[in-house]
Amino acid sequence: MRKNLGAKPYIYPQPVLIVATYSEEGKADAMNVAYGGIVNSNRLQINIGVRHKTSDNIKAKGAFTVGIADVKNLVAADYVGIVSGHDEPEKMEKSGFHIVKSEFVDAPVIQELPVSLECKVEEINQYDATLRIVAEIVNVSADEAVLDEAGNIDPARLGAISYDPAGHKYLKLGEAVGTAFSDGNQLK
Ligand SMILES: Cc1cc2nc3c(=O)[nH]c(=O)nc-3n(C[C@H](O)[C@H](O)[C@H](O)COP(=O)(O)O)c2cc1C
């Protein structure tokens, strides 16, 4: 029997995206974002509260990077999701994340996160107290340690984590259980 759970944001898996920005003065910040995803092959969106420091930074710079959080960096990823740059001037230092400026956009790339999508803002719309930000992905950089022999991202090596919005847990991703655009052929 099915049970109605009400109106909840229960999409699975939900990502753990670490959005990194610079303020107008060039100070780095980062936050944890679950409400985000791909729009099309060269665009993504993030949905973030209007009062976050990150929101001010994105409006000021029109750019951000998205690091894929992994098991190794879980504690730092959670930290940047529970402390605001508005309240903690040493947020990045305390997180332990190290940054270098992106070669492509005016935003920091977090060195510890193995995959980073470098993004240029195209559109910002406000819904209630949330900004829906659509951005162009202008580059993706990846640590060679998570690439396979063909140069593609290997999910098992990446060890990305997902956010469980019902249980507030982080889940590990990476086990392949099928082949996309192929397994369905059995039913044709
Ligand atoms: C697992 C997790 C997911 C989160 N997802 C979002 C999100 O999708 N949108 C949002 O506005 N805040 C989200 N947050 C909260 C922000 O990351 C948090 O408020 C952060 O401190 C904002 O930092 P800033 O003010 O320095 O930008 C999430 C936090 C956690 C721990």
| Mean pLDDT, rounded, for 155-176 | 97
CA–centroid distance, 118 to ligand 1, in Å, is 19
| Mean pLDDT, rounded, for 38-60 | 98
pLDDT in tens, 63-81: 999 999 999 999 999 999 9
Q: Is 170:162 a contact under the CB 8 Å cutoff?
A: yes
| Mean pLDDT, rounded, for 155-174 | 98
Which of 16, 18, 33, 64 is the best mutation target for the ligand 1 pocket, counting ligand atoms within 8 Å of the beta carbon and taking the most? 33
CA–centroid distance, 109 to ligand 1, in Å, is 18
CA dihedral of residues 160, 165, 167, 168 (deg, nearest 10): 60
Q: Whose CA is closest to atom 7 on ligand 1?
A: 33
pTM: 0.98
Confidence class for position 21, pLDDT limits 50, 70, 90: very high
Q: Is the beta carbon of 118 within 6 A of some atom in ligand 1?
A: no
CA–centroid distance, 151 to ligand 1, in Å, is 32
Confidence class for position 154, pLDDT limits 50, 70, 90: very high
- Residue linked to tokens 């162009």: 136
CA–centroid distance, 34 to ligand 1, in Å, is 8
Which of 16, 18, 32, 168 is the best mutation target for the ligand 1 pocket, counting ligand atoms within 8 Å of the beta carbon and taking the most? 32
pLDDT in tens, 112-143: 999 999 999 999 999 999 999 999 999 999 99
How does DSSP classify residue 94?
A: H
pLDDT computed for residue 137 by the predictor: 98
pLDDT in tens, 76-114: 999 999 999 999 999 999 999 999 999 999 999 999 999
Q: Is the beta carbon of 61 within 6 A of some atom in ligand 1?
A: no
Average pLDDT taken over every residue of the chain:
98
DSSP 147-182: B-TTS-B-HHHH-BEEEETTTTEEEE-------TTT
